[in-house]
Amino acid sequence: MGGYNYDWSIITNNMDIFIDGALKTLEISAIALLIAIPIGIIFGLGRISRNKFFRLISSIYVEVMRGVPLLVLLFWIFFVLGQFVRLGSYWSAILGLAIFSGAFIAEIVRSGIQAVPKGQMEAARSSGMSHTNAMRYIVLPQAFRRVLPPLASQFIILVKDSSLVSVIAATDLTLNAKNLVATSFRSLEVWTFVAIVYLIMTFSMSMIIRYFEKRLLSREN
């Protein structure tokens, strides 16, 4: 890359743009996760439900969402669904991320529940508890401890996936970077810094997750 004149002042002079983009990325990801969690719980329970119809619907949802690329889903929500419901780029991005992540959270919930020994449910049922109460008070609390680490990891994946929302003009770190590159032509500096920002965000969240995992394990022991 001889002859290229580096100008890192583009970063310091536009730090407010990067900070705003990073905050928007975290905001979109956090709201999407808050919506995805109840979706994941509902369809995760549906995957192991004794109701065949509920189990079938849940399985179709999970398999379809896991098989469709997130980019295609975002396009479909923004351009197709957007013809009938005015969501705008912001809520189209959140809805797409939530629906997509919900399928993976459903599998996390399903595996967490199935990891609880069957004897726990049998013991609760034999003591006179209904299936619903046994699931609510015995199985789910134990499953929660198992799904918490992968659920936190899913948020990290969600933050990285959120970079795709820029294709539907949702304001985030990536879109702000694209706009800055378009006006400054400093792609090397801008995209290098954006990569560092994403790395800092995901690495920080990874450290926080590890801390709480250790705390959780220490309590169990």
- Is the Cα dihedral 100, 106, 108, 109 positive or negative? positive
> Is the per-residue pLDDT at 220 higher than 70?
no
Rounded Cα gap, residues 199 and 194, in angstroms: 9
Secondary structure (3-state) at 90: helix
Please compute the mean of the pLDDT values over residues 19-35 and round it to a whole number. Answer: 96
What percentage of the chain exceeds 70 in pLDDT?
96
Which DSSP symbol is given to 2? T
| Cβ-contact 10, 189 below 8 angstroms | yes
Average pLDDT for the chain: 89
Asked if residue 172 belongs to a domain, the reply is yes
> Is the per-residue pLDDT at 55 higher than 90?
yes
Asked if residue 65 belongs to a domain, the reply is yes
Q: Which residue range forms the structural domain that includes residue 174?
A: 23-220
pLDDT digits (tens, 9 = 90+) for 87-105: 999 999 999 999 999 999 9
Please compute the mean of the pLDDT values over residues 112-140 and round it to a whole number. Answer: 78
pLDDT at 47: 93
pLDDT at 2: 57
Asked if residue 119 belongs to a domain, the reply is yes
Asked if residue 6 belongs to a domain, the reply is no
Q: pTM surpassing 0.85?
A: yes
pLDDT at 72: 96
Asked if residue 3 belongs to a domain, the reply is no
Rounded Cα gap, residues 21 and 45, in angstroms: 36
Task: Give the residue with greater pLDDT, 99 vs 4.
Answer: 99
Q: Indicate the number of domains in the chain.
A: 1
The CATH code of the domain that includes 53 is 1.10.3720.10
